[in-house]
Amino acid sequence: MERVKNVIELENVAYTYGGGYLLSGVSVVLAPGTFHFLTGPSGAGKTTLLSLCTGALHPSEGAVRAFGADLSTLDRDGLALMRRRIGMVHQDCRFLDHLPVAENIALPLAVSGRAGDTAAANLRELIAWVGLSHRANALPPELSGGERQRAALARAVMMSPDVILADEPTGNVDWEMSQRLLQLLVELNRMGKTIVIATHDLNLIRAAKAQIQTRVLRIAGRRLQLAGAAL
Determine the Cα–Cα distance for residues 129 and 153; give it in Å rounded to an integer. 11
What pLDDT is attached to residue 113?
66
Determine the Cα–Cα distance for residues 152 and 141; give it in Å rounded to an integer. 13
**In this model, does residue 4 exceed pLDDT 60?**
no
8-85+161-230 has which fold? Rossmann fold (3.40.50)
pLDDT digits (tens, 9 = 90+) for 82-91: 999 999 999 8
**In this model, does residue 31 exceed pLDDT 90?**
yes
Residue 87 bridge partners (DSSP): 164
Enumerate residues 6+ apart whose C-beta is below 8 A from 151: 93, 95, 101, 104, 105, 130, 132, 135, 140, 143
Tell me where in the chain the CATH 3.40.50.300 domain(s) lie: 8-85+161-230
Angstrom distances, CA of residue 121 to CA of 57, 102, 125, 152, 154: 34, 12, 6, 19, 14
pLDDT digits (tens, 9 = 90+) for 106-116: 988 877 666 55
What pLDDT is attached to residue 110?
76
pLDDT digits (tens, 9 = 90+) for 192-208: 999 999 998 999 999 99
Q: Using 50, 70 and 90 to split pLDDT, how confident is the model at 226?
A: confident
